[in-house]
C-alpha cells in the first residue's frame, strides 16, 4: 500500500506542474503504451517446462500491471493537471487583484499570499515548485529555478509586526544545507534593522511591502505596509521598533511603536495620526 500511495503521489505531483495540453498528450500516450503492453502479454504460450512456467508468470504479472496502469496513469495525470490549472488560474487572479488594489494583500490568507508570491516569481521567468507547508510560516515555502540556479523563498505574511533577523538566519542555514544559490524573504510589511544588516552578508534578498509591489507589477500605491511613517529607533536603547496595539488601560485599541527588545526594554514612541 505504501508503494502504491507513493507512486500515485509522485504522479499527482508531476501532473500539477504540467500545462493542460501537455498533460492530455502524456495521458493519451501513457494509455496507448500500457494498453499495447497489456495486449501483447495477455496470452503467453502454454508450456510444461520450469523455465517456460517462469516466463508465463512473468508475462502474467506484466499484463496485470499494464492493465491496471493503462487507466491509473492517464486518470492521475488528468486529475492533477486539472488541479494545477485551477491553482494557477487562482494565483493569476490574486496577482490581478493585488495590482488593482495593493491593500487587498493584507486581507489575504497565508496560503493566498504564498500563491500570490509564487505566481509573481513565475511571471518573472522562474520555475516554481511548492505552494507552502502545512501551516502559516512553516519552513521554506517555495523553491525557484532560473538559468540553472536554485533559490529558496520564505513568505512572511505579517500584517503589523516586522520580520526579524531570526527568519533570515534560518533561511540562510537552509540554503547552505540545500546548496541553493540564493534566497528571498517576502513580506507585505517591513524588516527590522538587524534583519537587513544580516542579509547584507548573505545571498538573501529581502522584499518588503514596497518591493513586493514592484514584484507583482503594481503601478500605483506600492507601499503595502500598514506603517504610516518610517520605522523609528528606540529612544532608550536604539534598537528597531515594531508596531503594537494597546490591549489595556485608557489607550486600549490604540497603536504605538514599541521596542523590539521588550520586556527587556520598554521604550515607546507614539504613532502620528493616532491609529
pLDDT digits (tens, 9 = 90+) for 63-118: 888 888 888 888 888 888 887 777 777 777 777 777 777 677 777 778 888 888 88
For the stretch 148-159, pLDDT in tens is 899 999 988 765
Q: What angle do CA 63, 69, 71 make, to 5 degrees?
A: 120
CA–centroid distance for 262 within its chain: 32
Q: Is the pLDDT of residue 41 over 70?
A: yes
- Transcribe 140-160 into DSSP letters: --EEEEETTEEEEEEEE--SS
Cell of 205: 534578498
If you count them, how many residues does the chain have? Answer: 275
Give yes or no for a contact between 229 and 204, defined as CB atoms under 8 angstroms apart.
no
Would you state the cell numbers that stand for residue 211, as one nine-digit string? 518591493
| pLDDT at position 152 | 93
DSSP helix/strand/coil, 91: helix
In the Cβ-directed half-sphere of 267, how many Cα atoms lie within 13 Å?
15
Question: Given this model, what pLDDT does residue 228 score?
Answer: 40
Q: Which three cell numbers stand for residue 20?
A: 493542460
Query: Mean pLDDT lowest for which of 79-93, 166-180, 201-215?
Result: 79-93
pLDDT at 163: 83
Q: Tell me: cis bond preceding 196? Omega within 30 of 0 counts.
A: no
The set of residues, in sequence order, having a beta carbon less than 8 Å from that of 219 and lying 6+ positions away, is 99
Amino acid at each position: 500500500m505504501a508503494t502504491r500511495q507513493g507512486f500515485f503521489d509522485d504522479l499527482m505531483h508531476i501532473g500539477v506542474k504540467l500545462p493542460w495540453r501537455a498533460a492530455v498528450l502524456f495521458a493519451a500516450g501513457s494509455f496507448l503504451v500500457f494498453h499495447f503492453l497489456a495486449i501483447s502479454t495477455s496470452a503467453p504460450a502454454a508450456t510444461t517446462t520450469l523455465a517456460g512456467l517462469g516466463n508465463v508468470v512473468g508475462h502474467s504479472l506484466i499484463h496485470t500491471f499494464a492493465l491496471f496502469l493503462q487507466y491509473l496513469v492517464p486518470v492521475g495525470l488528468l486529475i492533477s493537471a486539472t488541479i494545477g490549472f485551477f491553482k494557477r488560474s487562482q494565483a493569476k487572479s490574486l496577482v490581478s487583484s493585488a495590482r488593482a488594489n495593493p491593500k487587498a494583500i493584507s486581507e489575504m490568507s497565508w496560503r493566498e499570499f504564498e500563491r500570490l508570491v509564487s505566481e509573481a516569481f513565475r511571471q518573472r521567468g522562474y520555475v516554481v515548485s511548492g505552494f507552502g507547508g502545512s501551516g502559516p510560516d512553516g519552513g521554506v515555502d517555495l523553491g525557484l529555478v532560473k538559468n540553472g540556479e536554485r533559490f529558496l523563498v520564505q513568505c512572511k505574511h505579517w500584517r503589523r509586526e516586522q520580520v526579524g533577523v531570526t527568519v533570515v538566519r534560518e533561511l540562510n542555514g537552509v540554503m547552505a544545507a540545500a546548496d541553493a544559490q540564493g534566497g528571498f524573504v517576502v513580506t507585505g510589511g517591513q524588516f527590522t534593522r538587524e534583519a537587513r544588516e544580516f542579509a547584507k552578508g548573505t545571498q538573501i534578498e529581502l522584499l518588503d511591502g514596497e518591493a513586493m509591489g514592484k514584484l507583482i507589477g503594481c503601478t500605483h500605491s506600492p507601499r503595502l505596509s500598514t506603517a504610516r511613517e518610517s520605522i523609528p529607533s528606540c529612544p532608550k536603547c536604539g534598537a528597531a521598533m515594531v508596531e503594537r496595539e494597546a490591549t489595556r488601560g485608557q489607550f486600549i485599541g490604540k497603536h504605538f511603536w514599541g521596542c523590539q527588545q521588550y520586556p527587556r526594554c520598554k521604550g515607546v514612541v507614539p504613532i502620528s495620526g493616532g491609529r
